[in-house]
Amino acid sequence: MRNIFLFIGRYFNFLFFLVMQIIALSFLVRYNKFHQAIFMNAASEITGRLNARYNGIAYYFQLKPTNDLLVKENEQLHQLLKQNGGFTDSSKKMIIDTALIDSAKKIQKYYFMSAKVVGITTNFQTNFITLHRGSAQGVKPNMGVVSAQGIAGTIVNVSRNFSVAMSLLHLQYKVVVKLKNSGERGTVEWDGKSPLYVTLKDIPKSAKINKGDSVVTSETSSLFPSDFMVGTVSEIIDDKSSNFYTIKLKTATNFFNVEYVYIIANNQYDEQKNLEDSTHKKFQ
């Protein structure tokens, strides 16, 4: 306390001047509209800048929960996509183990589960993606994996809390796709070179195709709903010895920065696969 009084005594004149100056400025601002407007503008500018800095810092620390919330919301929206459904035959009595999504007896064929990417490779010829979802959360082999931009791979191995997907960037990976504009179907595979591009084969030369055209998943795929992005046409190679184009696609998914994906469960996959396998065996 003694030090405070000594400080006031030493700087009394300056402190008295400072207080009187503040009082004078307050009277000037209060009773003069011009100076009041200037003060308010300056105060608003300073307050705005401070708030912007504070919000920027707060937003940075809120990025993870915001990301998680957006992924969860996208997962819920994916469940409502019309590509996820298929109609049942109303003339037959059927027992369906999937949920009806509207009064027209349309059932939810595909179910989406969000998953965090905890491991991924891009620099090998056989690349994989490790996800933090496993059998305890309902993940099984032969489930498709998509990012927010497009397809990413297929689940090939599962533990209790983790799963591994064969990446689109894998020499053995193949998926049936189609041209979005004209509907011709072909097969996408990777040549083991650039992780930015894959190859589309079996597109007939009668198809109308241009650079920049979109290539999406086909209705004939049992792993993905139709019309999910695969990539865009980057180069069209006209092989004179063949009736089909070889097309270079820029992948829709950026495998260098993907953090979250969606695992797609086809509720009718086992039934379809068993029927196809038994048919092939029967007529071989």
Of 172, 238, 184, 243, the residue nearest 214 (C-alpha)? 184
Q: For residue 129, what pLDDT is reported?
A: 94
pLDDT tens across the length of the chain (284 residues) = 677 767 777 777 877 778 887 887 776 667 666 656 565 555 545 644 554 565 556 555 556 665 665 666 566 566 555 555 443 333 333 233 344 444 554 567 888 888 989 999 999 999 999 999 999 999 999 999 999 889 999 999 999 899 999 999 999 999 999 999 989 999 999 999 999 999 999 999 999 999 999 999 998 888 898 899 999 999 999 888 889 999 999 999 999 988 889 999 988 878 888 888 889 888 87
Cβ-contact 145, 155 below 8 angstroms:
yes
Q: For residue 107, what pLDDT is reported?
A: 65
- DSSP-derived 3-state class of residue 19: helix
Q: Which residues pair with 99 in a beta bridge?
A: none
Q: For residue 210, what pLDDT is reported?
A: 93
Q: For residue 23, what pLDDT is reported?
A: 81
Q: Which residues pair with 201 in a beta bridge?
A: 187
Q: What's the whole-model pTM score?
A: 0.66
Give the DSSP H or E segment for 37.
Answer: helix 33-61
Burial of 174 (0-12, 13-18, 19+ CB in 10 A): middle
Residue in this structure with the two tokens 């797609």, named with its chain if needed: 264
Phi and psi at residue 22, to the nearest 5°: -65, -40
Q: For residue 234, what pLDDT is reported?
A: 96
Domain ranges of the chain: 2-60, 110-284
Of 223, 219, 203, the residue nearest 153 (C-alpha)? 223
Q: For residue 89, what pLDDT is reported?
A: 34
Residue in this structure with the two tokens 């100076």, named with its chain if needed: 35
Q: For residue 95, what pLDDT is reported?
A: 31
Q: For residue 22, what pLDDT is reported?
A: 81
Cβ-contact 173, 258 below 8 angstroms:
no
Count CB-CB contacts under 10 A for residue 40.
11
Q: For residue 13, what pLDDT is reported?
A: 80
Count CB-CB contacts under 10 A for residue 169.
29
Q: For residue 36, what pLDDT is reported?
A: 60
Q: For residue 145, what pLDDT is reported?
A: 96
Phi and psi at residue 103, to the nearest 5°: -75, -10
Look up the CATH superfamily of 110-284: Rod shape-determining protein MreC, domain 1 (2.40.10.340)
